[in-house]
Amino acid sequence: MKVWKMTGCLLLLCVIICGCVVMGKNTQVAAAEQEERPDGGQQEVLPENKGEVTSPVGDSSTETGKTYSEGLYFRSNGDGTCALAGMGDCTAACVLIPPQSPGGDKVIEILPYAFAGSIVGSVEIPTTVQILSAASFADCQRLAYVRVAAGSEYLVEFDGVLYTADGGTLLYCPTGRNSRELALHASLKRIAAGAFATCKALDTVCFTGTTAEWHNIVVGDENNALYAARLVFVTP
């Protein structure tokens, strides 16, 4: 009996020793793998990439490639549309008007004196804007450049001046426009009241057409700068 007991104890001891050896090797392997990683942390298993790229929802700058001015003040019309009414908290010198207000309304109008007293030197108008006038830019002394976003069905910029999309009505010549010469759109039929009211640098106006055709152009009030400039007739 003593012999069997001793034999059993020896077998049990061998099993324990073998188990310890195996555990020690596993620990060494794990430690080696951890040392190969710079952070020594656990590796996260990521799902397989199916080639799908996600972008932030509602990021207009990502969708259009533009970063619109923030802080502008809009007045809602209560029907899903709104008007730019003022600069609000925006202090930018270059203003890119968004096509949609922070409240989700479509921007279709720029109200009179929307930029009054500001330091704005350039403005880009979105394709959604349908209604504006020279009064929209009144008392914006530094404004030198007005641009209309490509694809607008309502407005167009020609030689730094704002027109209706067909070129038929000249709406506004920026106060700070530096060029002394202006070429009028070939489709011009009407010049809105106050379009040249504050255009101080204007010296020469080039009109494509004859004297008789010029006299058919309807010119609104408060355009003294236009009358003071030298008129040059260009043969089509």
Q: Which of 218, 199, 105 is nearest to 161 (CA)?
A: 199
Helix-then-strand count for the chain, H and E: 4, 14
Sheet holding 94-96, edge to edge: 94-96, 122-125, 145-148
pLDDT in tens, 222-231: 999 999 999 9
The structure tokens listed for 166 are: 């067909």
Q: Which amino acid is at 143?
A: L
pLDDT of residue 64: 57
> CA gyration radius for the chain?
36
Asked if pLDDT for residue 143 goes beyond 80, the answer is yes
Q: What is the SS3 assignment for 34?
A: helix
Q: Which amino acid is at 73?
A: Y
pLDDT in tens, 72-128: 999 999 999 999 999 999 999 999 999 999 999 999 999 999 999 999 999 999 999
Alpha-carbon span 92 to 70, nearest angstrom = 9
The structure tokens listed for 91 are: 């202090």
What rounded mean pLDDT belongs to the chain? 81
pLDDT in tens, 148-203: 999 999 999 999 999 999 999 999 999 999 999 999 999 999 999 999 999 889 99
Cα-to-chain-centroid distance, residue 231: 38
Alpha-carbon span 147 to 88, nearest angstrom = 21
Q: What is the SS3 assignment for 5?
A: helix
Q: What is the CATH number of domain 66-153?
A: 3.80.10.10
Please report, for the chain, the start and end positions of each structural domain, with discontinuous segments joined by +: 66-153, 158-236
Which run of H or of E encompasses 233? Answer: strand 230-234
